[in-house]
């Protein structure tokens, strides 16, 4: 079994003393602040990705909840876009602030549980990894969910820690009730912390009696009351969100080792191999050192998500980031293993601040950061592709940074074309698309309502009432598709006729996007 974390080497002690003399905390703070400023500059100078536009559109038509997720991100964006307008700042500010809050809280919790070096490791991973680093820009349910997830873990630890700093049971569960309620209004996955809390209390003799007190149950009632908007909205619309989240997206697949292999490959890509090994060692160590309250805390809070989402790809479709919240907590243990080392019997598995793991992680982070960020400054990927594959057929979808561009240009064109058609024919065409992504981005570009003409369920189709869709019959429309999601208007809805044209957009003179625009007459209904 795993033995206690290895003692620091003499060299490690010298290095630590040197950094202490040089005001380690101050240096780290400066580095993290510079990183955050870079992230802020970057996020204010690139366009929205599909899901960001989707969630922004929710804020334009506020609801108590939504089909895909609860409403927290929409409520927050409704406030910031009222203050800063429909700008990148207005859209991304809530997620950005939540991300900073997550970094700060997890840093503090890691330092509380282990040491400052472990906290530095965690802060660096959150700021620069492909999964957390770039994902932190996205204005989606994840940033408020992750903030409440980490905040709930932080508060729970303050209530169960075994020293004089422990909070009272009343304070702990009142705070947890509020945080869990807010978290449920962000994303349902936070409910998986509840069995983690129960497992910790039941496996800790000194805290089993906590479950007999009224405060955990009062906290549960508070969380339930705060999350009531979710239940009210779903009740009014025949429970579409609950059916989708807890049934539909987990059905319809057979047992598949290949699907699980793809899931595993995605985990390696998200976290990079060396970090993934540290996280795996952390989960194993947290089980084998279960008697230590710190490791028991990590195991209990991460285990429900790991045991649900890791087997799921064997039997059903999945999203590779669903287990990410649990891994975020395991990062704290990974930081401690990196900081202090790890031994197995008499064999040292990981040295304290191992160069192998340090440079191994950097060897992935640095190139991935360059590949991720530099194409936004200049679209060099098409030229690199032609250099290495001169006879190959380049497609704009090969460059991920293209997905952030072109929608404002499309919006300007569509608004002008709509006015022209209205002036010429006396009939103002409505705007339409066949996927939620294109519908959302077209809404962002035009700043007007766009209809989703598809039987595939999304929040748009849930909210498009039969009466509203029936009133569109007989009207003309402008139907939009893209090279990423190509579609022919006549295959998705019935019309008298459709005329197609293309709009191409460019970055630094290089072709970036192609939009297919159909002017269709006499809408007669959706056909698929």
Q: Is residue 58 part of a domain?
A: yes
CA distance 463 to 450: 12
Measured CA to CA in angstroms, residue 152 lies from 177, 196, 347, 474, 477 at distances of 9, 11, 37, 53, 48
Paired tokens of 225 = 């009351």
Q: Is residue 362 part of a domain?
A: yes
CA distance 329 to 153: 8
Residues 361 and 415 in one domain: no
Residues 140 and 241 in one domain: yes
Residues 125 and 249 in one domain: yes
User: Which DSSP state fits 310?
Assistant: T
Q: Is residue 262 part of a domain?
A: yes
Q: Which helix (H) or strand (E) holds 414?
A: helix 407-425
Q: For residue 270, what pLDDT is reported?
A: 84
Contacts of 488 (CB under 8 A, 6+ apart): 481, 518
By the 10 Å C-beta count (0-12 exposed, 13-18 middle, 19+ buried), 223 is classed as buried
Q: For residue 389, what pLDDT is reported?
A: 93
Residues 307 and 440 in one domain: no
Which residue ranges of the chain lie beneath pLDDT 50? 1-3, 5-6, 8, 19, 21
Last residue of a domain, one of 372, 393, 416: 372
Q: For residue 252, what pLDDT is reported?
A: 61
The residue range of the domain holding 458 is 403-521
Residues 428 and 353 in one domain: no
Last residue of a domain, one of 351, 372, 393: 372
Q: For residue 14, what pLDDT is reported?
A: 55
Residues 345 and 425 in one domain: no
Residues 190 and 101 in one domain: yes
CA distance 354 to 440: 46
Residues 121 and 188 in one domain: yes
The string of DSSP letters for 234-262 reads: HHHTTSHHHHHHHTGGG-S----HHHHHH
Q: Judge contact between 473 and 430, C-beta under 8 A.
A: no
- Residue among 508, 507, 489 nearest 498 (CA): 489
The pTM of the full predicted model, rounded to 2 decimals, is 0.92
Backbone angles phi, psi at 222, to 5 degrees: -65, -45
Q: Is residue 380 part of a domain?
A: no
Domains contained in the chain, number: 2
Q: For residue 387, what pLDDT is reported?
A: 92
Contacts of 106 (CB under 8 A, 6+ apart): 122, 123, 126, 150, 154, 328, 331, 332
Name the region of 239 (left: φ>0; alpha: ψ -120 to 50; beta: rest).
left
- Taking CB atoms within 8 Å and a gap of at least 24, the contacts of 71-80 are 71/185, 71/229, 71/230, 71/233, 72/141, 72/144, 72/145, 72/182, 72/185, 72/186, 73/139, 73/140, 73/141, 73/143, 73/144, 73/186, 75/185, 76/144, 77/139
Residues 248 and 130 in one domain: yes
Q: For residue 353, what pLDDT is reported?
A: 87
Q: Is residue 391 part of a domain?
A: no
Helix (DSSP H) and strand (DSSP E) numbers for the chain: 24, 7
Beta strands in 42-87 (DSSP E): none
Q: Is residue 210 part of a domain?
A: yes
User: Which DSSP state fits 136?
Assistant: T
- Residue among 376, 402, 381 nearest 513 (CA): 402
The string of DSSP letters for 460-520 reads: HHHHS-HHHHHHHTT--EEEEEESSS---GGGTB--SEEEEEEEEEEETTEEEEEEEEEEE
Residues 14 and 161 in one domain: yes
Paired tokens of 525 = 């209904």
Residues 181 and 56 in one domain: yes
Q: For residue 30, what pLDDT is reported?
A: 87
Q: Is residue 92 part of a domain?
A: yes
Q: Is residue 379 part of a domain?
A: no
Residues 160 and 67 in one domain: yes
Q: For residue 25, what pLDDT is reported?
A: 72
- Number of neighbouring beta carbons within 10 Å of residue 395: 13
């Amino acid at each position: 079994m795993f033995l206690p974390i290895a003692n620091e080497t003499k060299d490690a002690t010298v290095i630590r003393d040197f950094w202490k003399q040089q005001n380690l905390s101050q240096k780290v703070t400066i580095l993290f602040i510079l990183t955050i400023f870079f992230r802020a500059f970057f996020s204010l100078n690139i366009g929205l990705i599909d899901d960001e536009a989707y969630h922004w559109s929710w804020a334009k038509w506020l609801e108590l909840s939504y089909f895909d997720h609860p409403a927290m991100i929409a409520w927050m964006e409704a406030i910031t876009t009222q203050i800063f307008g429909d700008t990148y700042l207005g859209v991304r500010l809530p997620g950005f602030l939540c991300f900073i809050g997550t970094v700060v809280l997890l840093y503090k919790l890691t330092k509380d549980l282990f040491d400052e070096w472990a906290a530095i490791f965690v802060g660096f991973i959150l700021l620069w990894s492909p999964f957390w680093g770039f994902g932190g820009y996205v204005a989606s349910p994840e940033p408020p969910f992750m903030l409440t997830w980490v905040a709930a873990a932080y508060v729970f630890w303050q209530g169960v820690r075994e020293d004089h700093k422990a909070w009272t049971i009343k304070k702990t569960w009142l705070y947890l009730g509020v945080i869990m309620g807010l978290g449920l209004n962000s994303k349902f996955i936070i409910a998986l912390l509840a069995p983690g809390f129960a497992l910790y209390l039941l496996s800790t003799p000194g805290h089993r009696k906590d479950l007999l007190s009224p405060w955990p149950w009062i906290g549960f009632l508070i969380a339930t009351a705060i999350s009531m908007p979710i239940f009210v909205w779903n009740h009014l619309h025949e429970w579409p969100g609950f059916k989708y989240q807890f049934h539909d997206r987990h059905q319809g697949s057979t047992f598949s080792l290949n699907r699980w292999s793809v899931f595993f490959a995605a985990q390696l890509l998200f976290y990079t191999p060396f970090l993934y090994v540290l996280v795996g060692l952390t989960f194993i160590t947290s089980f084998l050192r279960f008697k230590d309250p710190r490791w028991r805390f990590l195991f209990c809070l991460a285990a429900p998500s790991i045991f649900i989402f890791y087997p799921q790809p064997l039997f059903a479709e999945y999203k590779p980031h669903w287990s990410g919240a649990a891994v975020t907590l395991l990062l704290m243990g990974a930081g401690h293993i990196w900081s202090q080392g790890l031994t197995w019997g008499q064999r040292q598995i990981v040295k304290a601040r191992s160069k192998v793991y340090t440079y191994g992680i950097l060897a992935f982070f640095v190139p991935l950061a360059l590949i991720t960020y530099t194409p936004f400054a200049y679209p060099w990927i098409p030229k690199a592709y032609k250099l290495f594959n001169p006879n190959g057929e380049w497609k704009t979808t090969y460059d991920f940074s293209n997905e952030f561009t072109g929608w404002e240009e499309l919006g300007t064109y569509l608004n002008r074309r709509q006015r022209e058609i209205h002036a010429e024919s006396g009939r103002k065409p409505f705007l339409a698309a066949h996927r939620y992504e294109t519908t959302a981005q077209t809404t962002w570009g035009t700043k007007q309502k766009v209809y989703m003409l598809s039987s595939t369920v999304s929040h748009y189709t849930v909210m498009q009432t039969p009466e509203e869709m029936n009133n569109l019959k007989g009207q003309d429309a402008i139907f939009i598709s893209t090279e990423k999601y190509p579609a022919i208007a006549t295959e998705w809805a019935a019309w008298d006729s459709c005329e197609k044209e293309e709009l191409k957009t460019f970055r630094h003179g290089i072709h970036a996007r192609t939009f297919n625009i159909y002017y269709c007459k006499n809408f007669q209904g959706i056909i698929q």
